[in-house]
Structure 1
Amino acid sequence: MRNVTHMHRSPHPHHRTHHHLRPLPFVLVALALLVGWGVGAPPDPADPPVPDQEEARISTIESSILPLIRVEGRELPPPATLGDRMGELGVAAVSAAVVRDGEVAWARAWGTADVEAGRPANPETLFQAASISKPVAAMGALLLVEDGALQLDGPVNAHLTSWRVPEHNWSGRSEVTLRRLLTHTAVLSVHGFPGYENEAPLPDLPGILDGIEPANTGPVRVSDEPGSLWRYSGGGTTVAQLAISDATGEPFASGMARRVLEPAGMTSSTYEQPLPESLRHRAAFAYRQDGGSPPGGWHVYPEQAAAGLWTTPTDLARWIISVQRSLAASGNPTRKEGAVLRPETALAMVTPGDGDWGLGPAISGEGPARRFSHGGSNLGFKAEMTGWTEGGRGLVVLTNSDQGAILIRELALAIAQEYGWQGYEPRILTALERTEAELAEYAGTYRSESAGFALVVAREEGSLWLITPDGTRREMVSTAEDEFTEIQMGQSVDFLRYDTGRVDAIRVRGLRLDRVEGGDSGP
């Protein structure tokens, strides 16, 4: 029988005492009054030098924050400053980098990396990239495909030695392959991972995949025919991580550093979990919606490929540039510095398949607006990365607050509009009128057992609200029959009716969540 002894324990990353809850909103408001969040102030000495023209653009961006999602007929608020929005949303720090003409044009950070210590964020502050870890890890897997160490389309079990994908109803007919793992079409369970508190025992990777304590998620299993549909799965990415390590006989973090991070110029990034002692003084603390920071400042993610990358916006901008340079190298026998992948591999990576997903990143837009992107959400960290396949353009925004996702979209919109980049425009929604009785049909609690979380749809004051597991509340408007769209992030929620005619489930990003009986919400 396989030994599931805990691999290691995560040491406490700081010597001083940290409480489970810290009153972040009050502290943030106080800091905003004292230092104005750094917006409009002279650049921090740690900021890299920026040409005057770019400095003027940054200044415009800082004062042009508007909603990404707009509802037709509702008055648009006046532009806000970045500092004001950080204060309103309770975002401790935000850090961004912009790619122009195939180079990092600028990087800038605002706010506070550690509120209790008063440590400001700067462009070298490390953030958890969360699920942006996935496309970066995919590059490592594709390099092994180029070298013949992994097969893209053969059964992944051929490369697994420390664990195997269990037999399933479609074994021998439809197999779990690396391609399907990278494109989220292997149809595996476990949507994402909550991470582990510092000093908590950590499971090994086979233990995570089998859901054996101390793993805090269920077993990763085939839940429908592989290749038959698109279903986002961090569990699938974790299978890919193990395939990489088993095929190379090398720890995932060190292998990724050697094959991807160093060649791409990502000198401040690491997949090591827990974060090494030598880097902890550079790390941003994670802040929950309630203002608290978890013990030790952040969670630990042994699911490194799915959620474990620590990085900076500048390093992720360099990853974008690496993909762009690989794409541009077609027909050029001399590979440009930082072009890690072969041109044909990079093209495959950004070619959309089911779910508009490539081999690692999401793909959207056409022609000059074609983009490869990924978002990220760990406890207390939100992230977004977008690169354009043409024109050498890209942006990265990282935050250390659960409320950061809204700010990320607004800041990214301001950046894209300032530079006139196609494909990142405001989205206008036409809201359909719904009666109170109709809204009541939709209100309830919906749960996915395979993903291990629930969403609440609440009816309040003539509107529907989507409430996420971390307590974030997002207003939704009706945009089609049995379809609502939340107006902060633009996520569509489809309400599903079966034979009874009543609403029995919802679908969000391809994931079905079934209605929980007795979980109705609203008056």
Structure 2
Amino acid sequence: MLLLLCNLIALTIVRAADDSAPAEMLARVENAQSPNRQGLDGYTLRQVMDRFHVPGVSVAVIKDFEIHWAKGYGVADVESGAAVETNTLFQAASISKPVAAMAVVRAVQDGRFSLDDDINTILTSWKLPDSELTRGHPVTPRALLSHTSGLGDGFGFPGYHPSAPRPTVVEILNGSKPSNVGPVLMERPPFTAYKYSGGGVTVMQLAMTDTFRKPYPEIVQSLVLGPIGMSDSAYDQPLSSERDRHAARAHNGAGRAMDAKWHAYPELAAAGLWTTPTDLAKFAIEIQKTALGRSSKVLTQASVREMLTPVGVGDYAVGLGLSKLGQGWYFGHGGSNWGFQCDFIAHRLKGYGVAIMTNGDAGRPVIDEIRARVAAAYGWDSLDKPVLR
């Protein structure tokens, strides 16, 4: 009995220590740090935001395959003064791509098509133009989602003012009005080089709607967002009035409000997701746990490996960037839309990571600093860290 009582007391002490851990880690992320390898010696997190004119930041930290803490900083809109909350929506920009890729891999798992099928056998409403460059190897979903398809657009998407006419996906791919980007054309044979291609991901968006015969937001909601519980996420473009009440505003590099609250992105798979760091953390955790055979809400263990295995050209797998830092394998993705910057990174095996979203064009150095502080506080493998004292 005495031994049992001692064990219960010890367990209570451990739980109490665990409960206080987020506060301790928050202090190590938020407080002034000196020295600091990022050149921000003695800056608090609030001062880092002010230094780079970033009005608002939202963060979610993963530890042991769970969200350890999430918090908002600053304001969602400098004009209204509304505070950033953990449920404040930000544009995910190119982080839309790995979420879209998971939906594709789920479609493959369900037998809709293969990652190695000729994309023109999947497309029905538009075809990738014939090219001598694809005679030896066709463009495939695997190539499109790893930026090795040979498509040469290489452009980012500037988006559209909410009052401006928006093109269809076919008009975007053809580069015809009112599209504000050029056509998607072959530049080299598939799998011979890496070149980032938002246009290629947009081709895959069309392939998904051709296959499912449903609006793209409904497809990803049913395949990915719903099963994972990403309740604050949607590919709504433009954003619905209900969700817009919780949305951050776009700001320029000086921290001033843009002339519109945000731009709309009909290139949904490439740039159209609205979400929160908490939901992105849920997404990353599902990948981590599925890879270890601990979950299967969307994909099987075999299927998720497609998203974690380099295709052989560049550092990309299907939808995700991969990096090896010391002994640590990480996966993740960054994003940059008009007035928004964001990033998430997670360890392949060890169950930790962080998602960071900002509402300013100058958000990248703030993201880098927060990521470095989190990595140092939690003792991550081999990331460039500030020195914490």
Give the TM-score normalised by the residue count of structure 1. Answer: 0.68
Letter in 1 for 2:335: G
Letter in 2 for 1:250: K
Aligned match for 1:52, one of 20, 26, 29:
20
Which sections of structure 2, spanning at least 5 residues, go unmatched? 1-17
Residue 394, structure 1, aligned to residue 353, structure 2: yes
Which structure carries more strand by proportion?
A: 1
Q: Would you say the 8 A contact 1:68–1:409 is kept in 2?
A: no
Letter in 2 for 1:54: P
Percentage of matched positions with identical amino acids: 41
Residue 346, structure 1, aligned to residue 304, structure 2: yes
1:20-39 matches, cutoff 5 A: none
Pick closer, same or farther for the CA change 1:68–1:251 going to 2, 3 Å: farther
Query: CA shift at 1:108, angstroms?
Result: 0.4
Aligned match for 1:375, one of 334, 355, 359:
334
1:76-475 matches, cutoff 5 A: 77-191=40-154, 192-329=156-293, 336=295, 339-352=297-310, 353-365=312-324, 369-426=328-385
Which structure carries more helix by proportion?
A: 2
Equivalent in the alignment of 2:9: none
Query: CA shift at 1:222, angstroms?
Result: 0.9
Q: Would you say the 8 A contact 1:154–1:177 is kept in 2?
A: yes
Pick closer, same or farther for the CA change 1:322–1:81 going to 2, 3 Å: same
Query: What whole-Å deviation, never above 9, does each CA across 1:223-262 have from its counterpart, x for those lacking one?
Result: 1111111101000000011111111111111110011001
Q: Would you say the 8 A contact 1:65–1:414 is kept in 2?
A: no
Distance 1:65 1:91 in 2: 19
Query: CA shift at 1:292, angstroms?
Result: 3.9
Q: Would you say the 8 A contact 1:141–1:150 is kept in 2?
A: no
Pick closer, same or farther for the CA change 1:146–1:412 going to 2, 3 Å: same
Distance 1:340 1:393 in 2: 20
Q: Would you say the 8 A contact 2:89–2:247 is kept in 1?
A: yes
Query: CA shift at 1:64, angstroms?
Result: 4.7
* Number of aligned residues: 367
Query: What whole-Å deviation, never above 9, does each CA across 1:317-366 have from its counterpart, x for those lacking one?
Result: 0000110111111xxxxx63x64211011112111231111111110116
Pick closer, same or farther for the CA change 1:65–1:254 going to 2, 3 Å: farther
Letter in 1 for 2:177: E
Q: Would you say the 8 A contact 2:79–2:257 is kept in 1?
A: no
Q: Secondary structure at the match of 1:401?
A: coil
Query: What whole-Å deviation, never above 9, does each CA across 1:208-229 have from its counterpart, x for those lacking one?
Result: 0000111000001111111111
Q: Secondary structure at the match of 2:132?
A: coil
Give the TM-score normalised by the residue count of structure 2. Answer: 0.91
Q: Secondary structure at the match of 1:397?
A: strand
RCO comparison, higher one (Cα < 8 Å, 6+): 2
Letter in 1 for 2:374: I
Query: What whole-Å deviation, never above 9, does each CA across 1:3-35 have from its counterpart, x for those lacking one?
Result: xxxxxxxxxxxxxxxxxxxxxxxxxxxxxxxxx
Query: CA shift at 1:121, angstroms?
Result: 0.6
Query: What whole-Å deviation, never above 9, does each CA across 1:414-433 have from its counterpart, x for those lacking one?
Result: 00100001031249xxxxxx
Distance 1:69 1:417 in 2: 11
Pick closer, same or farther for the CA change 1:297–1:403 going to 2, 3 Å: same
Which sections of structure 1, spanning at least 5 residues, go unmatched? 1-49, 71-75, 330-334, 428-523
Distance 1:371 1:281 in 2: 34
Distance 2:178 2:366 in 1: 34
Q: Would you say the 8 A contact 1:132–1:307 is kept in 2?
A: yes
Query: What whole-Å deviation, never above 9, does each CA across 1:49-86 have from its counterpart, x for those lacking one?
Result: x932211210111125689976xxxxx55231011111
Distance 1:399 1:177 in 2: 34
